[in-house]
Amino acid sequence: MVDSNDSPKERQRLNQALEALHFGFRAITAHPDERLRVLGYSRVHHRILYFVGRNPGCSVNELLGIMRVSKQYLNRPLRQLVADGYIQSKRDTRDRRVKRLRLTPKGRRLEEKLTGEQRMQLAEVFRKAGPEAEAGWRRVMELLGANARR
């Protein structure tokens, strides 16, 4: 664990890593955020579309677990996406209390526009950086994600 007693050199190294993370995240979210803004949506709408697209037929509770967010965080944007025809919400055939979520064709098109560009960006930088750099990046992201679960 790094603390306030670190050397100035170590602090600078970590600040540079934070800046790279900040600017990288901004670069990969800029275009999708602009498309979302035009629709009156935010990044959470994209996250919902992405995870419903990767987990078709998931329940609302399963989506909460996948995204690791609260019901309050998910409720309003999910309702908007359903009302606007991007996500279909159907009662489960076995348990009528459960709602199953799927992207509609309209939702698939929007999710592909938003995420497709991000996949292209990642493919390009992974190609440039090489497989070892990609593996290192993936490992760092896994460790950051594991820390977030604690």
The predicted-structure confidence for 68-104, as pLDDT tens digits, reads as follows: 999 999 999 999 999 999 999 999 888 888 999 999 9
Q: Domains of the chain: which residue ranges? A: 16-149
* Domain at 16-149, CATH class: mainly alpha
pLDDT band at 12 (very low <50, low <70, confident <90, very high): very high
SS (H, E, C) the chain: CCCCCCCHHHHHHHHHHHHHHHHHHHHHHHHHHHHHHHHCCCHHHHHHHHHHHHCCCEEHHHHHHHHCCCHHHHHHHHHHHHHCCCEEEEECCCCCCCEEEEECHHHHHHHHHHHHHHHHHHHHHHHHHCHHHHHHHHHHHHHHHHHHHC
pLDDT band at 109 (very low <50, low <70, confident <90, very high): very high
For all residues of the chain together, what is the average pLDDT?
A: 93
Put simply, whether the predicted model's pTM sits higher than 0.85 gets the answer yes
